[in-house]
Chain A
Amino acid sequence: MKKTGYIFIIFICLLFFSPVLSHTKTYIDIDSPSFRRFPIAITYFKDIKGKDNKGDISKEIFEVLTQDLEISGLFTIIDPSLFIESPVDSKSGNDNKINFRDWSAIGAEALVKGSFRFDNGSLEIETKLYDVFQCRFLLGKRYVGKRQDLRKMIHRFCNEILLSFTGEKGVFDTKIAFVSDESGYKEIYVIDFDGHNMIKITNHKSIALSPTWSPNGKMIAFTSYKDGNPDLYVKDIIANKEDRISHYKGLNIAPAWFPDGKKLAVTLSLEGNPEIYVLDKDGKRLKRLTNDWGIDVSPTLSPDGKEIAFVSDRSGNPDIYVMNSQGENVKRLTFQTKYSASPKWSPKGDKIAFSSLAEGHFYIYTMNPDGTDVRRLTSNSGDNEYPSWSPNGRFLTFTSARGGNKRIYIMRADGSGQRQIGEFKGNQLNPCWSPRLQ
């Protein structure tokens, strides 16, 4: 009896202390229905060398931190004017100097502090994350780079913050490829997930479309009319090398990478009708997957590579269908509207996002891969199209014409937190969220 009592006590102790002992404590269970936002205080970082004369650096660090944590939808950022300890003067680095009671008094359960050295164009940022409730240092990171790397460093730190709170790394250092006609031609560009650091990828002075990241994030496949015909290209963005991989007669469009990064599912019309084929990376035709009178286009691979969702108008209108990667077991998934397009399989395999026409506008929807649980995520007037998942499946990027021109937006996978990213000329389309980048 005594023994069992001891074992019971030990068991209880383990139950209580295990989150503390193990390093995988999950502060925020994102998928829990009772999920609540975690109150976090972000202080201005201390300028150690005193060379940030205009305060640009500390301001930008604060802005990026606030933006990323806000976009995550997991935190409530505490208004700095409530801080008892002045946000600018607060010292960082020494745990002993932090008066956690001052922070818990204003409701903060977590605290971000840090410092930076800026000298001769070199920027060194030291970041720290504290659990206010447990008066505990959680995470410290040091980043070294140039002034222009500031955003990247903070994005990475925010990834770490998310990892320690949710057990899953953030996607703040990922990028989005898209098409813009701002130059008068349709060219492919890449931006950070928050719209900064735009890079032009193509200069075809033609129509480039459907950029699609390779699974390793080093290449982008796309369609371009550069040589008059819609041909397929693959651009190695690290080596800055571009290859035209397929230029069969007719359409060479809608590339989708297999998860192994060695094959692509594409739409070709060389045999007269737009059908889905499998190509290897050099454009060699491996297999034809569809064979019907209708248009078959926009394939998207399930993360295990075993299934392909695609658009077909074989029943009269464009709808989303699914088949296995051999082109068998074709099933229609969408029935609710007369026009569904742009399917994208989620990275976890649990959802397919698509756009669908309802009441005169296109909206973004998600559904289970069997066609059930259809949910509309956008409600604004103006078309919302071209969804694409973030690599962790927590966010979607898409285009919206709610403000007039088509712009790139991001939102959380449940449709909350919709915001435009970047402000570019012309119209943007075909946004494609990158995988995690090394």
Chain B
Amino acid sequence: MNRRNFIRTGFQAFAGLTIGGIAGLLFSRSSSEEMVWQLDPNLCVQCEKCSVNCVLPNSAVKCVHSYSMCGYCDLCSGYLQPGAKARDTGAESQLCPSGAIKRTFIEDPYFQYTIDEDLCIGCGKCVKGCDSFGNGSLYLQVRHDRCLNCNQCSIARLCPSRAWKRVPASQPYILRGDESKRYLES
């Protein structure tokens, strides 16, 4: 073995040990679980950026509804425009720009509001309405059947209130109300 080969073997061993060392250090801090992105509804300020900053043409962020918290109001501040002339399903009365909220009569005086996720663009206008004047049962969440789970979420990067974080894939939602309790227990 000449001198050059000896140095080469030395460097090889050094490189191998460095990779091994870094890998070992990383393993000691790793989790076998994948991490996914989610936004904390309690930090969300409904800036509407979720609807445009997602890499998907139709954002993976959608409005979700904790029915256990909902007041089933006739005058729903998440559904109706402020100062809407009528409490009806007319487009001019609705707050949602894409008409993604379905209003169904249940019994006097209660109405159920359901989100059509295929129509929802995740702008959070209804969330703002419900948060400001209602019970806060409407809020935004990443829907993991849609999310691509980018390494660096482009919505998270531009979120003005730092509401986004990486959460374990086994519990990928941050819910509100009884839904949250049921979800965490399951």
Same complex for A and B? Answer: no
